[in-house]
Structures are given as structure tokens and as C-alpha cells.
Amino acid sequence: MRTSRAGTWTGPSGADGRRRGEGFTLIELIVVLVILGLTCAVAAPRLAGGVFEREKLRAEVNRLAAVIAHARDRTESARRGHGLALDLAENAWHLWAAARPDEAAPEAPLLSGRLPDGVAFGEVRVAGREPSEARRVELRFAPDGWVDPALITLEAAGVVHSIVVSAPAGRVATFASRVTLDAEGVVAGAP
């Protein structure tokens, strides 16, 4: 039997009389790894879910902004009016071509799309147009390049992104926040 300098007993740890090494046993390490694995399995989907929804919203805002820019470019090159109908009830959009800017949308659109699950239209305002009872708003592009100013917001998981179409040239800008338009169609509240 041995004693330490402090005078306490430090008996042998192993059967062969050698002292047991400092550290953790294999069982202790396995228990800690199992606890960490369970914690990650529960927490990771919750943390990643919000990121996934925000990225899906950002991608959809960019896609809709590209469709609006395409409609503007197509109108100018074809010298033919186009319209983008936003169906707020169905979370869908339809791009169509018309002979005149005031012509109604034809039965077969040039392009159509639907917002993905979890993404919805928020506030949609087009200068001079109110949503119909069917919750449909039309953004029209005239052959001379004119387009009415518009504000389109998309929402997902409590996050809002905005698309602003400015008059008269129909320039498209996106914002990672909620913005508003004043009476003349000028952006207010942009970061």
C-alpha cells in the first residue's frame, strides 16, 4: 500500500497493481455520443426548416421578378402588349400576350406558374387596379414600354420579400423586406 504526499491512501487500481489511467471509459464516451446524436436529431430539422423556407421564398421572388422582366422585354421586342395575371386565391400567375394593352387575357397563357407550398402572395397593388372579387390582379405591359407601377409581396414562415415594378419603363427591383409605394409609385420604407 502506498501513500501520497498528502498522506492519503492511493491503492492499486488494476488487478496487476498498476494505477488506472486518467480519462473516460468507453461506455462513458458512448453515452455522451448517444446524447449528442439525439440532441442533433431533434434540433437540426427545426433550425434548418426556417432556413429552407427563407431560401425557397428568395428563389420564388427572383423567379417572379425574372418573369416580370421577361414580360417587359418580350413586349418591347414583339411590339405587342402583354399582361401578367396574379391569382391571389390560387397563389398562381399567368403571362399572356394581347393585340392591345386593354385586351382581356386569352384562354392559353404563354407561361404559367404556381408558388410553392409555404409561399403565398401578401399585399399586391397595381396602380389604378384593385383586386377583383376572384382575387386576381393584372399587371399590363404596353407596346410603347409603359407599365403601371406595382408592388408584389410574397410571404413564407413569417418572412416577407417585396417586388417593385416602377413606371414608366417597368424596371424590377426586389427587397428582402416589406416596402410600400407612395401615391406616385415611389418606393418608401426600403432598407
The pLDDT, as a whole number, for residue 33 is 96
Question: What average pLDDT score do residues 50-73 get?
Answer: 88
pLDDT per position as a tens digit, 120-139: 999 888 877 776 666 888 88
In a domain, 61, yes or no: yes
What is the distance between the alpha carbons of residues 167 and 98, in angstroms, rounded to a whole number? 20
The pLDDT, as a whole number, for residue 162 is 92
Give the single-character DSSP code of 116: P
| Cell 413586349, located at residue | 75
The pLDDT, as a whole number, for residue 22 is 74
| CATH number, residue 81 | 3.55.40.10
In a domain, 19, yes or no: no
Residue 32 exposed, middle or buried by CB count within 10 Å (0-12, 13-18, 19+): exposed
pLDDT per position as a tens digit, 10-59: 555 555 555 556 788 999 999 999 999 999 888 877 776 667 788 889 99
Question: What average pLDDT score do residues 85-96 get?
Answer: 91
Say yes or no to pLDDT of 6 above 80.
no
In a domain, 30, yes or no: no
In a domain, 121, yes or no: yes
The tally of domains found in the chain comes to 1
> For 23, left (φ over 0), alpha (ψ -120 to 50), or beta?
left
In a domain, 29, yes or no: no
Contact between 172 and 163 (Cβ < 8 Å): yes
In a domain, 174, yes or no: yes
In a domain, 16, yes or no: no
Domain that holds residue 154: 35-188
Q: What is the mean pLDDT of the chain?
A: 80
Q: What are 147's three cell numbers?
A: 407599365
The pLDDT, as a whole number, for residue 62 is 94
Band of residue 166 on the pLDDT scale cut at 50, 70, 90:
confident
Instruction: Report which of residues 112 and 10 the model is more confident about.
Output: 112
What is the distance between the alpha carbons of residues 71 and 138, in angstroms, rounded to a whole number? 13
Say yes or no to pLDDT of 147 above 70.
yes
What is the distance between the alpha carbons of residues 164 and 173, in angstroms, rounded to a whole number? 5
Regarding pTM above 0.75, the answer is no
Q: In terms of DSSP H, where are the helices of 79-165? A: none
In a domain, 172, yes or no: yes
